Chains A and B, each alone.
Chain A
């Protein structure tokens, strides 16, 4: 096992059958077979806050999202003798925020949201999980101060605390019936309030907003989406794609208000209460009744615990090409990290699952003493909005002076736009296409010179798979 890590440290290539990164999860055959209680109970430290107890490990990871869990698994493999401790700020086993929308729709139960399905996965690997909130990082001391008074010592720390939702400055945001949708706890509340037929206002048609949007519609609510930007998902889709997505949503009975903000939320007057308990006042002056307001106005890196730690931060924790922060013992990964950006050569927060996974793995290799420089994250997103699938990759806004290839079919909701720099692909947006779409990542990240295939892609941008096979693969 983990032969590929050996090779990383100079022991030569490993045979293919040793390149196993993670053992197969002994998969339960149906979600129904895994009652939440069962899963929760079988994880050793599954419940309660371990508050005041002092603790420590060679490797301590704060945060139990994908970056933290992958890092723990990678550390366990890279340094079998080093103990690994995850400090998990929420109840229950590590779970995936990505899965929350599917929990909201009822496709999966809570157990289905867990990052690892095998009940004894962490125990088997010897990864400890401790529940508790970190108040401060005392980097020079190699110590974390926990809420409730306990502390955790570390030799190497990974900050993988993810992000927290931005709370816009809107009057009435603390009223009952106004919820962010970020944690499983939030999701439980929304499930309770978003009854079929109820009126829901969703603030924010960004990536997360759109994921929740789908879940809300599937719950049968009457939905109004309010987005400040001039289009849907402005940070992922260009004007063409964002506009098409808006039309698509409107065609599905959703009211989509772009270039609009919420100015105030008030408890509804008696007369308006039939429409819901809340009155949502919009920038245009209109007031929309609502039973529930879901706030998805973006997220920001969750790094309050680093205040005063002397660690450089910007939009996130600034990390170098080894994902190490300005403090030699402290690393950061995932949504909290502002790491190398593949496309720009600078440092960016890319709060997406594939980046979290890369970060967790690379950071862990370096924490364990390896030398694994990171080439940088490629921002990419995939979104399924009521059946219309959109993807974006890399520099979809285009490169200076770079050419592009485009096909638009407004009626059929099909769109593809490729962006080139010289004869390399650097970014792309697709709408209404799901087949072989990952190869766009391959074309961008291998930085393959397209040669004659650049013109072929300009003639037919859908031939990305053929371009890859011709320039990279076996063709």
Chain B
């Protein structure tokens, strides 16, 4: 069974340990600005929502890439950016309807969650189990995926059935 990140905003305290872990693993420094996961805050409601790529089946980013720089990691289901091949054209950043592919001006490449090869650092760093890495069927990302399907340019029927 493939696993995916499960996010429970109700458990998030906004400590940003996920962002620290992600940036350290990917960039070798502590720098939330370079994290592939980000906690969005709804201050007036006292709500904190960690958010990153759902590794959606539609993979708009991968489809849109003009130079084949995003590929599927068959083991994890992650869509992975090759830093060697990416030219930094940013088409994926507008193609991804979730906004989870971001341009890193320092490297001139895009960055996105790659599930750390199957052992996501954000989930390990989360002190409250707001982020867990579990069997895909159990994740709340399903709902996100349904909405993802609504973005699908194709038929509503086909797209929503894939969710």
The digit string for B1-20, where 1 denotes a CB below 8 A from any CB of A, is 11010010100000000000
Partner of B71, one of A7, A24, A98, A361: A24
A29→B156 CA distance, assembly (Å): 38
B63 near A361: Cβ-Cβ < 8 Å = yes
B154 near A438: Cβ-Cβ < 8 Å = no
Question: In chain A between 415 and 471, which residues have their CB closer than 8 angstroms to a CB of chain B?
Answer: 434-442, 445-448, 464-466, 468-470
Question: In chain B between 104 and 163, which residues have their CB closer than 8 angstroms to a CB of chain A?
Answer: 105, 108, 136-137, 140-141, 143-144, 147-148, 150-158, 161-163
Partner of A376, one of B2, B144, B153: B153
A435→B140 CA distance, assembly (Å): 24
**B104: shortest Cβ distance to chain A, in Å?**
9
Partner of B66, one of A4, A96, A107, A393: A96
B151 near A362: Cβ-Cβ < 8 Å = no
A470→B144 CA distance, assembly (Å): 12
A468 near B90: Cβ-Cβ < 8 Å = no
A287→B99 CA distance, assembly (Å): 46
**Chain B residues within an 8 Å CB radius of A435:** 99, 102
**B13: shortest Cβ distance to chain A, in Å?**
15
**Chain B residues within an 8 Å CB radius of A412:** none
A22 near B84: Cβ-Cβ < 8 Å = no
**A91: shortest Cβ distance to chain B, in Å?**
18
A466→B147 CA distance, assembly (Å): 15
**A309: shortest Cβ distance to chain B, in Å?**
27
For the complex, is B51 an interface residue (Cβ under 8 Å from A)?
yes
A372 near B49: Cβ-Cβ < 8 Å = no
B51 near A469: Cβ-Cβ < 8 Å = yes
For the complex, is B29 an interface residue (Cβ under 8 Å from A)?
no
A382 near B154: Cβ-Cβ < 8 Å = no
Chain A interface, number of residues (Cβ within 8 angstroms): 83
Q: Looking across the interface, which residue of chain B has its beta carbon closest to that of A8?
A: B158
**Chain A residues within an 8 Å CB radius of B7:** 474
**Given A20-B72, A382-B93, A435-B102, A365 contacting B154 (CB threshold 8 A):** yes
For the complex, is A174 an interface residue (Cβ under 8 Å from B)?
no
**Chain B residues within an 8 Å CB radius of A381:** 94
Partner of A474, one of B77, B144, B156: B144
A40→B8 CA distance, assembly (Å): 49
**Chain B residues within an 8 Å CB radius of A468:** 98-99
Total A-B Cβ pairs within 8 A: 230
A465 near B40: Cβ-Cβ < 8 Å = yes
**Given A98-B66, A98-B67, A354-B64, A108 contacting B97 (CB threshold 8 A):** no
Q: Looking across the interface, which residue of chain B has its beta carbon closest to that of A20?
A: B72
Q: Looking across the interface, which residue of chain B has its beta carbon closest to that of A466?
A: B40
A387 near B40: Cβ-Cβ < 8 Å = no
A16 near B155: Cβ-Cβ < 8 Å = no
**B8: shortest Cβ distance to chain A, in Å?**
8
**B114: shortest Cβ distance to chain A, in Å?**
12
Stretch at the interface among A53-61, A110-118, A289-297, A311-319: A110-118
**Given A13-B162, A16-B77, A371-B155, A437 contacting B99 (CB threshold 8 A):** yes
For the complex, is A31 an interface residue (Cβ under 8 Å from B)?
yes
**Chain A residues within an 8 Å CB radius of B82:** 27
A21→B158 CA distance, assembly (Å): 14
Partner of A108, one of B87, B93, B100, B102: B87
**Chain A residues within an 8 Å CB radius of B77:** 16-17
For the complex, is A210 an interface residue (Cβ under 8 Å from B)?
no
The digit string for A365-384, where 1 denotes a CB below 8 A from any CB of B, is 10000011111111011101
A7→B94 CA distance, assembly (Å): 27
For the complex, is A25 an interface residue (Cβ under 8 Å from B)?
yes
**Chain B residues within an 8 Å CB radius of A27:** 68, 71, 82, 84-85
For the complex, is B22 an interface residue (Cβ under 8 Å from A)?
no
A115 near B67: Cβ-Cβ < 8 Å = yes
A115→B7 CA distance, assembly (Å): 35
7 contacts between A and B (CB under 8 A): A8-B158, A8-B162, A16-B137, A114-B68, A116-B68, A437-B94, A445-B150
Other 17 A-B pairs with CB < 8 A, given A14-B162, A117-B67, A374-B155: A22-B62, A22-B63, A22-B71, A27-B85, A99-B89, A116-B68, A354-B95, A361-B154, A374-B154, A378-B153, A382-B94, A391-B94, A438-B93, A438-B94, A438-B97, A472-B144, A473-B143
B residues neighboring A (CB under 8 Å): 1-2, 4, 7, 9, 38, 40, 42, 47, 49, 51, 57, 59-60, 62-64, 66-68, 71-74, 77, 80, 82, 84-85, 87-103, 105, 108, 136-137, 140-141, 143-144, 147-148, 150-158, 161-163
6 smallest A-B Cβ distances: which pairs? A439-B99, A442-B97, A19-B57, A8-B158, A98-B66, A436-B99
